[in-house]
Amino acid sequence: MDPIFELSIYWVLALSLVAFCAGYVDAVAGGGGMLNLPALLFAGVPPISSLAVSKVTAIAGTTLAVAKYALGKRVQWKIVVYAAIPCLLASYVGGMFALKLSATFLAWAIIICIPIALIIVLRDKPEAHLGTPEDRPVKAIAALAPIGFYDGILGPGTGTYMAIAVRKILKFDLLKATATIKPLNLFTNIGAAVAFLLAGKVIWAIALPMIAASSLGGWIGGHSAIKGGDKFIRRLLIIVLTVMLTANVIKMFM
C-alpha cells in the first residue's frame, strides 16, 4: 500500500521531466539518482519514500539502457553472469542498512568518494587501456559488490563508480565498461528496491509516471552513448561527478 502522501499534478509532471533527464544521464555516465533523489526531497516527499521511488524509477531507465546496449552488442555478458548475484545480494543488504545508519555519516562518505572518482577520471589515459581482458570475474566481483552495497544504502553515482571500476580493473574502454555494468546496476537497483517494496515505502502515484519518463530517457541515453563513444561518455562523467560533488557540499553546509 502507498504511504499516505499526495502531490499536485504539476509536481508530478516536473518530477517526470527530472526522471527523463536522470534516465538519460544514468544510461550514459551513471549518477541519475543524483537528479531524482534531491528532486523528490525538494518536492516534499518523505526521505525513505524518496529513496524507494528513486530506486524503482532507476530500474525502469536502466532496463531500457540495458536493452539498447545489448542490441548494440556492447555488453560483456561473462562478467555480468559472475558478478550479478553478488551485486544483487550486496545491494539488498545495503537497503536493509539504509534505515539504520546515520544520515550524516552517509553524507560525508559520499563527499569523500566523489572527488576520488573525479580524480581517477581526469587522470585516466586512454592509451593505457588498449587491452580488453574479459577473464577476470573474481576481480570484477571484488570491485563491484561493495559498490552494490553502497547502491542499496543510498545510491547516487553507483553507475558512475561501477564504470570507473571496470575500466580501471578490467582495462575496458569506457563504452564497453558502461555497457557491461548496466545489467549489474539493474541488479543492484532491484536488490535495494525489494527491501523498500517489502516495507511498503513506494508511492506509486508518483513512481509510475517517473518510471515511464525514465524508461524513455534510458533508451535515448544508451543510443547517445553508443553513437558518441568514449569521448562523449568521459565528458559526461566529468560533468556528473562535478555536479554531484558541488550539490553534496552545498547540502552539507547549508
**99-128: pLDDT as tens digits:** 676 666 655 766 676 676 667 666 655 544
How is 7-65 classified by DSSP, letter by letter? Answer: --HHHHHHHHHHHHHHHHHHHHTS-THHHHHHHHHHTT--HHHHHHHHHHHHHHHHHHH
Q: Render pLDDT for 175-203 as a digit per residue (tens, 0 to 9).
A: 888 888 889 888 888 887 888 888 888 89
Q: What DSSP line would sit under 138-207, residue for residue?
A: HHHHHHHHHHHHHHHHT-TTHHHHHHHHHHHHH---HHHHHHHHHHHHHHHHHHHHHHHHHTT---HHHH
* pTM passes above 0.75: no
214, 18 contact by CB (below 8 A): no
